[in-house]
C-alpha cells in the first residue's frame, strides 16, 4: 500500500520532533556539565582562600555546619580551616604554616 501525503508528513513531523528533543537533551546536558564545572572551580577557589584567610575559613566552617546531609559533612571531616588538611600538608611542605617552609 502506498504511503499517503498525510502519512509522510506525520512521519517527517515525528522525526523532526525527535531531533528537536535530542537537541534539547544535549543542551541540558551541556548546561549541567558547565554548572558542575563552575561549582568545582569556585569550591576549589574558596577552599584555597580559606587556607589563607580566616574570614573565608569561618565562612566555609559555617557552610559545612549547615550542610543537611551527613555524607556531605563527612567529606569535610579531615578539612582543617587553619590550613591544608593533613594529607595536603604532607604532600606540599611549601604550604606549611612554618615560616621557613621546612614542614
- Whether 100 is covered by a domain: the verdict is no
**Residue holding cell 534539547?**
24
- Whether 99 is covered by a domain: the verdict is no
Per-residue pLDDT reduced to its tens digit, 86-103: 334 443 434 444 444 444
Distance between CA 58 and CA 61 in Å, rounded? Answer: 5
What pLDDT is stored for residue 11 in this prediction? 96
Distance between CA 68 and CA 48 in Å, rounded? Answer: 23
Per-residue pLDDT reduced to its tens digit, 17-52: 999 999 999 999 999 999 999 999 999 999 999 999
Q: Note down the domain range covering 76.
A: 5-94
Q: Could you give the number of structural domains in the chain? A: 1
pTM exceeding 0.75: no
- Whether 102 is covered by a domain: the verdict is no
- Whether 44 is covered by a domain: the verdict is yes
Per-residue pLDDT reduced to its tens digit, 52-91: 999 999 999 999 999 999 999 899 888 876 654 433 444 3
Q: How many residues does the chain have?
A: 103
- Whether 46 is covered by a domain: the verdict is yes
Question: Any alpha helices (H) in the chain, and if so which ranges?
Answer: 5-52, 54-65, 70-74, 86-91
- Whether 74 is covered by a domain: the verdict is yes
Amino acid at each position: 500500500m502506498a504511503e499517503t501525503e498525510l502519512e509522510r508528513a506525520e512521519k517527517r513531523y515525528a522525526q523532526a520532533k525527535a531531533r528537536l528533543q535530542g537537541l534539547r537533551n544535549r543542551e541540558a546536558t551541556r548546561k549541567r556539565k558547565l554548572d558542575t564545572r563552575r561549582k568545582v572551580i569556585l569550591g576549589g577557589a574558596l577552599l584555597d582562600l580559606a587556607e589563607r584567610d580566616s574570614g573565608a575559613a569561618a565562612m566555609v566552617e559555617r557552610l559545612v555546619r549547615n550542610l543537611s546531609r551527613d555524607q556531605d559533612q563527612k567529606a569535610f571531616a579531615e578539612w582543617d580551616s587553619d590550613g591544608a588538611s593533613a594529607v595536603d600538608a604532607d604532600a606540599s611542605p611549601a604550604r606549611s604554616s612554618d615560616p621557613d617552609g621546612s614542614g
